[in-house]
């Protein structure tokens, strides 16, 4: 038998110093690759105009200023469609899309995970298969279907498809499989609770991390949605699209566009920071069985 070192009655796993060093070096290199462009965006956002167009360019900002953010707000105020409208569009579609998705997908996930009705297996298999292709594949035909339903150029064109996101349903179903005990549900049913009641009152409070994850995923997707082929009217377009228009303004707006990028990325990053532990917990059951 191998000789084991122990500390506080726990086995100390063997870790070579060389391995530790190698891992640290690799992690540092990859980490720099990931973080430097992010740092550069922030640097750009705080550079005054003369530093943005300095030769040779400097990576770091020397005299940080808020002027780019001020420029951005001036640009926003002079736009043809008021910026508050773009913000409203994004918030409205994000909130409606997210809550509809949360409710509809979790109800379906509950039935698929916890009620053994004929067909539940192949319905889930079909939904799972759709994780295997990208939604751009169906964009053009979705357009045709939506125009048949008169949904083109309305908020519905963004909101309703969001209710059907697959990843959210998949994660919720997997999480319910492992984290909601059948015994508890069974006793609720024996006490005469209906399935709908069992789902809402018993199961849902047990899967808080999963619905938080669902909210965040759906919100992120909708928040980052740029121009959509389903929307023509300027006053229905998203905040991200409007920011993109400022960014597209070229050299003169380099500062404002960096400021806009920083503002846009802060939202999903902050949301993730707050909810990280819940998302990781949900991902614990994300694995695919076969």
Distance of closest approach, residue 176 Cβ to other proteins, in angstroms:
13
Q: Please give the residues from 64 up to 93 whose contact with other proteins meets the rule CB under 8 A.
A: none
Distance of closest approach, residue 156 Cβ to other proteins, in angstroms:
11
Distance CA 280, CA 104 (A): 23
Element (H, E) at 11: strand 10-11
Q: Judged by CB under 8 A, which stretch of 63-71, 75-83, 88-96, 221-229 contacts other proteins?
A: 221-229
DSSP string of 236-251? G--HHHHHHHHHTT-G
Distance of closest approach, residue 235 Cβ to other proteins, in angstroms:
21
Distance of closest approach, residue 261 Cβ to other proteins, in angstroms:
6
Q: Please give the residues from 124 up to 163 whose contact with other proteins meets the rule CB under 8 A.
A: 126-127, 129-145, 160-161, 163
Shorter beta-carbon distance to other proteins: residue 191 or 288: 288
DSSP string of 59-109? SS-SS--SHHHHHHHHHHHTSSS-HHHHHHHHHHHHHHHHHHHHHHHHHHH
Site pattern 172..201 for other proteins (x: CB under 8 A) = --------------x-------xxx--x--
- With a CB cutoff of 8 Å and minimum separation 6, the contacts of 61 are 43, 46, 47, 51
Half-sphere exposure of 275 (CA within 13 A, CB side): 21
**For other proteins, how many residues bind (rule: CB under 8 A)?**
104
DSSP annotation of 55: S
Q: Judged by CB under 8 A, which stretch of 61-69, 72-80, 82-90, 239-247 contacts other proteins?
A: 239-247
Q: Please give the residues from 5 up to 64 whose contact with other proteins meets the rule CB under 8 A.
A: 10-11, 13-16, 19, 23, 26-27, 30-31, 33-35, 37-38, 40-41, 44, 53-57, 59
Shorter beta-carbon distance to other proteins: residue 216 or 236: 216
- Beta strands at 10-11 and 6-7: parallel, antiparallel or unpaired: antiparallel
Distance of closest approach, residue 119 Cβ to other proteins, in angstroms:
8
Angle between helices 166-179 and 83-114 (to 10 degrees): 40
Q: What are phi and psi of 281, to 5 degrees?
A: -60, -40
CA distances from 252 to 53, 72, 200, 219, 272 (A): 10, 12, 54, 32, 33
Per CB under 8 A, 4 contacts other proteins: yes
Distance of closest approach, residue 279 Cβ to other proteins, in angstroms:
6
Shorter beta-carbon distance to other proteins: residue 16 or 78: 16
Nearest to 217 by CA among 263, 130, 279, 285: 279
Q: Please give the residues from 199 up to 218 whose contact with other proteins meets the rule CB under 8 A.
A: 199
């Amino acid at each position: 038998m191998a000789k084991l070192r122990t500390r506080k009655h726990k086995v100390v796993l063997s870790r070579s110093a060389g391995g530790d060093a190698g891992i640290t070096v690799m992690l540092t290199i990859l980490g720099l690759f990931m973080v430097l462009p992010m740092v550069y965006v922030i640097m750009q956002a705080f550079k005054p105009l003369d530093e943005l167009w300095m030769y040779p360019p400097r990576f770091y900002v020397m005299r940080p200023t808020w002027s780019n953010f001020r420029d951005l707000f001036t640009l926003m105020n002079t736009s043809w469609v008021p910026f508050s409208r773009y913000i409203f569009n994004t918030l409205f579609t994000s909130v409606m899309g997210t809550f509809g998705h949360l409710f509809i997908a979790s109800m379906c996930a509950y039935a698929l995970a916890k009620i053994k009705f004929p067909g539940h297996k192949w319905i889930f298999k079909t939904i799972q298969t759709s994780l295997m292709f990208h939604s751009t594949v169906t964009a053009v035909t979705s357009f045709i279907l939506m125009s048949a339903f008169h949904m083109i150029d309305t908020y519905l064109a963004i909101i309703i498809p969001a209710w059907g996101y697959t990843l959210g349903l998949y994660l919720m179903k997997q999480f319910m499989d492992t984290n909601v005990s059948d015994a508890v549900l069974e006793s609720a049913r024996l006490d005469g609770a209906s399935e709908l009641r069992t789902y809402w009152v018993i199961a849902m409070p047990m899967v808080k991390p999963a619905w938080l994850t669902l909210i965040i995923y759906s919100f992120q997707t909708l928040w980052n949605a740029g121009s959509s082929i389903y929307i023509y009217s300027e006053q229905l377009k998203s905040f991200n699209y409007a920011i993109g228009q400022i960014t597209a303004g070229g050299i003169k707006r380099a500062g404002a566009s960096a400021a806009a990028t920083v503002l846009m990325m802060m939202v999903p990053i902050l949301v993730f920071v707050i909810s990280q532990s819940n998302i990781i917990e949900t991902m614990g059951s994300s694995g695919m069985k076969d």
